[in-house]
A = this chain, B = another copy of it.
Amino acid sequence: MADVKNIIESMAQKARLAARKVAVLSTDVKNKVLLSTAQKLEDSKHRLQQENQKDLKNGKEKGLSPAFLDRLELSHKVIDSMIQGLQEVAALPDPVGEVTKMWKRPNGLLVGRTRIPLGVIGMIYESRPNVTIDAAALCLKAGNSVLLKGGSDALHSNLALASVLQEALAENGVPEDAVQVVPTTDRAAVTELLAREEEIDLIIPRGGEGLIRFVVENSKIPVLKHYKGVCHCYVDKGCDEDMAIEICFNSKVQRPGVCNAMEGMLVHQDVAESFLPRMGEQFKKAGVELRGCERTCQILPYAVRATEEDWGTEFLDLILAVKVVSSMDEAMDYIDRYGSNHTEAIITRDYARARRFLNEVDASLVLVNASTRFNDGGQLGLGAEIGISTSKLHAYGPMGLEELTTTKFIAFGDGQVRT
């Protein structure tokens, strides 16, 4: 315990010192680090997979599930996707140093806001070792140093990936402490990280709701997170029903296990009788289990009657809660009560209701006539993302490079004093 405390304290202090250097690196140097990491990953595939084998072997002996072991594996495909990710982040514009605004005061003082790195970021995540590279790349490009605490079952893989990154840092004259993987499987390391408020500026947890709640409850450092995505489509009266079918189908079926998949569908009563049977057919073919309100079950005899628990549940599976509503207001009240501030969509032809829905629904992304699946940094045009925030402070929605920075004020004077 004392050991873990010392390890984390020393890592955090080194990260803090490195942060001051990383903050002022040129874009060129940062990109060189990213691209040479990509090259080194390519060259080190064999070594990485050997280290990964240790984790996989331990995992099998521990009886981890095949799905878990699958996420743990550094296959050629996974390594290639990390390489591609590094190249993409290198190609993104550098947010640091951007002057977001500048204005002149009556006394001649020129005042502006400029983007600066946050400092030191702590990432706490579960099994997928590719997060080690993806997160480090984003943090570094935004001028931050990063402490990475991955899942215990991926320790060998994560350390191997970190050593590749650190080689690339060292070769480019950047302090290796800019990217550090916590070299222990001791759970206490998480708690110790969360207590280093003097050195760490931001914690980003990625994983199941349990991990995230643990982090939020124990952190003295600000945390950006989302617990879950309970996303809805509201099918408005008078909408283009063909479009509604396509959007709802895509929102539910295209990738049901992720946070921006639709978990509840709200259908205006005026379109329910024509829309639901056609929509239901599509869902039935795709193997989606429908859990409906009373009215839904009258129209779709094969729907299961929903229980109170089904409303607002994140199924992450081919299951959908369906409710017929008498108005958009009822739909918005439902979303307010059961939604998770993640992603909400309306399918409509009505101008006024589109505007009201956009204005009044409180979610990190509100869409008109498009799939909930677009709530993703890449899809929205931010480039790679480090996560999606459903809390409002600092970032609300996908977090890309900009969200890993903040702004400070700068002022150019020529002798101004306050009177």
Contact = CB atoms under 8 A, between A and B. Distances in A.
Contacts of A393: 118, 201-202, 222, 393-394, 406
Q: How large is the interface on A (under 10, 10 to 19, 20 to 34, 35 or more residues)?
A: 35 or more
Interface of A: 20, 23-24, 97, 103, 105, 109, 111, 116, 118-119, 201-202, 216-217, 220, 222, 240, 243, 246-247, 249-251, 254, 336, 358-360, 362-371, 373-375, 379-381, 391-394, 396-398, 406-418
A103 B359 contact: no
A254 B411 contact: no
Given A118-B393, A375-B409, A393-B201, A417 B254 contact: yes
A111 B375 CA distance: 11
B397 A409 contact: yes
Contacts of A254: 417-418
A374 B363 CA distance: 37
A405 B360 CA distance: 15
A336 B20 contact: yes
Most B CB within 10 A of own CB, among A202, A250, A373, A406: A406
26 contacts: A23-B362, A97-B359, A119-B392, A216-B220, A217-B220, A222-B222, A222-B393, A246-B415, A247-B415, A254-B418, A358-B410, A367-B412, A369-B415, A369-B416, A370-B411, A371-B417, A373-B418, A374-B418, A375-B409, A379-B418, A380-B409, A394-B406, A396-B406, A396-B409, A397-B407, A397-B408
A204 to B, nearest CB: 11
Given A111-B381, A201-B392, A396-B406, A417 B103 contact: no
Contact of A396 (B375, B407, B416): B407
A371 B410 contact: no
Secondary structure of the A side of the interface?
Answer: mixed
Given A109-B374, A222-B391, 6 more contacts: A20-B362, A358-B410, A366-B408, A369-B414, A393-B406, A394-B406
Contacts of A414: 243, 369-370
Contacts of A367: 410-413
Given A366-B410, A411-B365, A418-B373, A105 B396 contact: no
B394 A394 contact: yes
Contacts of A216: 220
B109 A408 contact: no
Most B CB within 10 A of own CB, among A250, A336, A409: A409
